[in-house]
Structure 1
Amino acid sequence: MLSELFTIGNLTIKNRLIAAPMAGISDLPFRSLCYKYGAGLAFSEMFLANSQIWHTEQSKQKLANSQELGIKAVQIIGSDPDEMAKTAILNMKSGAELIDINMGCPAKKVNKNLAGSALLQYPKLVERILMSVVQAVDVPVTLKIRTGWNKANKNCLEIAQIAQKCGIKAITIHGRTRECLFKGFAEYDSIRQIKQYISIPVIANGDIIDPEKAEEVFQYTKADAIMIGRGALGRPWIFEDIAFYLQYGKFKSEKSIDEIKTIVLLHLKALHQYYGEKKGLQIARKHVIWYTQNYAGSDHFRRLFSVIDNANQQFDALEAFFQEIKF
């Protein structure tokens, strides 16, 4: 079922498995792996609606990239309708085929600027932002939200209806309020309700970390697609695992140590090439922690890996680690 095509505006998505936009994670090397291993769509990390920093290397790296394997989808974040529109235009002119608006980030440094999930408190401003962005670009615009600001103020259905009225082409709902952050468990009743009241595609998000959970969420919410975030950390092949489970009703064979080693080393090489050795070294460390965290006795390796300051030594250390756990 999740292998079926679906559409967002004029775009055809090859399946219903989507890689979430994650700050500091969803760069081109990571998105490429998610695409390679079964994601139908992968969003870039947040692009700030602040023209004063657009000239920086960090901002330039978040723009749509010609090397993208799939649809070029960029998420933008901010609170000023005009700046959000300008940001959407910039990204569209740089090649973005889809613009996603972030109204779900719960981080304090984001919310204090009235961006991310803080906007859920102000439906009128939400409407102004959505209208401004939709009218500014010729590509589909989507929206990502949480269920509300806190449990006493769950207004996701109201926001979803505003989004549809404004011309938003799909909406993703993370099944937590802003107050919840990432604590406790995501709930899916809100997503199920929204699906019953709006006609644009609804994408379910939150705590989808394995094939069984993916099937449960999809069946219960009747969502058009599911979005996976933290479940893909250290396991970008989770998308093909989910697709296999849903098609055949059984788990896909676990990847061998050699297969995982190949993926990790390819990811490492891509990071070094994309960012340069200095920054590539730093970013590689967190990904390697995720790739290796479930292996017995890997704590010592991760501590050693975190202080390596040479690209070749990172590769050598990983080769030695995988050779050791293989036997």
Structure 2
Amino acid sequence: MRIGSVHIPSPLVLAPMAGVTDLAFRTICRELGAAYTITEMVSAKALCYQDKKTLPLMELGPEEHPGGVQIFGSDLACMEEGAAIIREVAHPDIIDINMGCPVPKVANNGDGSGLLRDLDKACRVAEAVIRGAQGTPVTVKMRLGWDKGNIVCLDLAKMLESVGVAAITLHGRTKVQMYSGTANWDYIREVKHALSIPVIANGDVFSGQDAARILRYTGADGVMIARGVFGNPWIFQQAQAALRGEPIPPLPPLAQRCDTAVRQFELAAQNKGEKIACLEARKHYAWYLKGVPYAGYWKSEISKITTLADVYRVTAGIKRELRDGRGDG
């Protein structure tokens, strides 16, 4: 897949997710087969106001290429300036515009999926980012529309292509659906057939087989995996096997999965400090234990983690139970 001048070596993309896809987790996912990763969304206004907490969000790893930074907002001047700051500070291969976030405090402010209610404004936002990006390819991640009575993805995608957007990622749900119901892949297929730029399919990819199926069904150039990666960065290895028509490798043994989780939290502590990393580790570690028998006690212990020492203690306890024959999960 080629986005503008950027070559992406496989169709497997990690979705940008606030509070999830920090540098540490993106590093793990790339090692396990994600060909392209994108930061958590970065506020254009925060960049313009030089908010110190925002700059670390757009830091890419030394090996994180091709890598993208995602920007959100709807103020044209801020979006142009924000894109310029991203280009100068983070040096991403691609800048992605968020036109899909359904969270009320974002969408109701006219940002994220709020832009799906004003297609002309959405295009002006894209043009502003393209100006600020000064040659860095600009892409858009969006949803089908605000609600099922206002499906605008085909019209908007065509408009965005005409103003110079280099690729579209389409999540097969409306804003009102949030994450409920089923993603509609038919619209993704329709948009793919109508555009000449790459289209990346997103929605309801929870296994390697799902990744292969959505690509076959829609004809999309890439597949973006979001919630399917929670606690399972190995989904990229499984998707690679599915795309090659090979047997899907099973998840590694639980002890190995715990070691990967610990490494993620150690990387996060290096990047953002032990306190924040360990508070955020609580949800991630619980995801790593999803579906594991007898995990209730350890999930309770995980909810109290405040230091890396706590992480090591919980991990040692889980491994001790494994040695005592409580099962591999």
TM-score (norm 1): 0.95
Work out which of the residue numbers 7, 18, 22 in structure 2 matches 1:27.
22
- Per-residue CA deviation, residues 187-231 of structure 1 (Å, 9 max, x unaligned), is 101000011111000000001010221122111100000000000
How far did 1:69 drift?
2.8
More off after superposition, 259-268 vs 149-158: 259-268
Letter in 2 for 1:8: I
Work out which of the residue numbers 44, 52, 57 in structure 2 matches 1:62.
57
What is the match of residue 292 of structure 1?
289
What is the match of residue 213 of structure 2?
216
Contact 1:293 1:299 in 2 (8 A): no
What is the match of residue 266 of structure 2?
269
What is the match of residue 252 of structure 2?
255
Quote the Cα distance in structure 2 between the aligned partners of 1:258 and 1:313: 17
Q: For residues 1-327 of structure 1, what are the structure 2 equivalents within 5 Å?
A: 6-51=1-46, 55-94=50-89, 95-137=91-133, 138-325=135-322, 327=325
- Identity, % of aligned positions: 34
Quote the Cα distance in structure 2 between the aligned partners of 1:110 and 1:298: 35
How far did 1:315 drift?
1.2
Letter in 1 for 2:21: S
Quote the Cα distance in structure 2 between the aligned partners of 1:170 and 1:149: 21
Quote the Cα distance in structure 1 between the aligned partners of 2:44 and 2:2: 27
Letter in 1 for 2:223: I
Distance change (3 Å), C-alpha of 1:312 and 1:98: same
Letter in 1 for 2:65: G
Letter in 1 for 2:273: G
Quote the Cα distance in structure 1 between the aligned partners of 2:61 and 2:34: 18
Unaligned runs of 5+ in 2: none
**Moved beyond 3 Å, runs of 4+:** 51-57
Quote the Cα distance in structure 2 between the aligned partners of 1:260 and 1:291: 7
Name the SS for the 2:162 alignment partner: helix
TM-score (norm 2): 0.94
Contact 2:262 2:311 in 1 (8 A): no
How far did 1:325 drift?
3.3
Q: CA RMSD in A?
A: 1.4
How far did 1:238 drift?
0.7
What is the aligned length?
A: 322
What is the match of residue 3 of structure 1?
none
Contact 2:48 2:78 in 1 (8 A): no
- Per-residue CA deviation, residues 62-110 of structure 1 (Å, 9 max, x unaligned), is 1233534322310000011111111111000011221000000000010
How far did 1:53 drift?
7.1
Letter in 2 for 1:72: G
Name the SS for the 1:88 alignment partner: helix
Quote the Cα distance in structure 2 between the aligned partners of 1:131 and 1:200: 16
Name the SS for the 1:76 alignment partner: strand
